[in-house]
Amino acid sequence: MSRVRMGVVGLGQWGRHHVRILAQLPGVDLVGVVDRDGREAAHLAHRFETRPYEDHRDLLGKVDAVSIAVPTALHYQIARDFLEAGAHVCFFGPPAGKRVGGGHRVAWCIHGVTPCCSCLW
């Protein structure tokens, strides 16, 4: 069975939990963590033996899937970037303030731009 390359974008309260859980899952390679606060990214990257990034775009093409744990207003653009790069996307909460982003997300999944996009709300 091949390993899944994953990353986490956003290292606040929820993102830190995502990192901790993903780092323990068999079959998952946590290849990077992203936060605008470079010190936080470096700290968690060191703790969980992965790479830190300050911009989510630096992780594009390096992951098969990403967990997005950023403020709601940022969900749409970040999810779109990863979806267009062919990555699976998971985030919790409304896709983008319950506006245009959600409709686009559903359309991307239906039309096969990406294999999977989960929004748990």
Kindly list the domain boundaries of the chain, sorted by start residue. 4-120
pTM for this structure? 0.81
Q: DSSP letters along 57-118, please?
A: GGGTTT-SEEEE-S-HHHHHHHHHHHHHTT-EEEEES-SSTTSHHHHHHHHHHHTTSSS-EE
Here the tokens at position 96 are 């983008």
Determine how β-strand 65-68 pairs with β-strand 88-92: parallel
CB 44 within 8 A of CB 33: yes
Predicted confidence (pLDDT) per residue in 49-83, tens digit: 999 999 999 999 999 999 999 988 888 789 889 98
**Residues β-bridged to residue 67:** 8, 90
3-state secondary structure (DSSP) of residue 18? helix
Does the pLDDT of residue 12 top 50, yes or no?
A: yes
**pLDDT band per the 50, 70, 90 thresholds, residue 105:** very low
pLDDT level of residue 42 (50, 70, 90 thresholds): very high
| pLDDT mean over 22-33 | 95
Six-digit token string for 72: 């709601």
Residue 102 pLDDT exceeds 90: no
The pLDDT of residue 108 is 45
Q: Which CATH architecture fits 4-120?
A: 3-Layer(aba) Sandwich (3.40)
Strand partners of residue 7: 32, 66
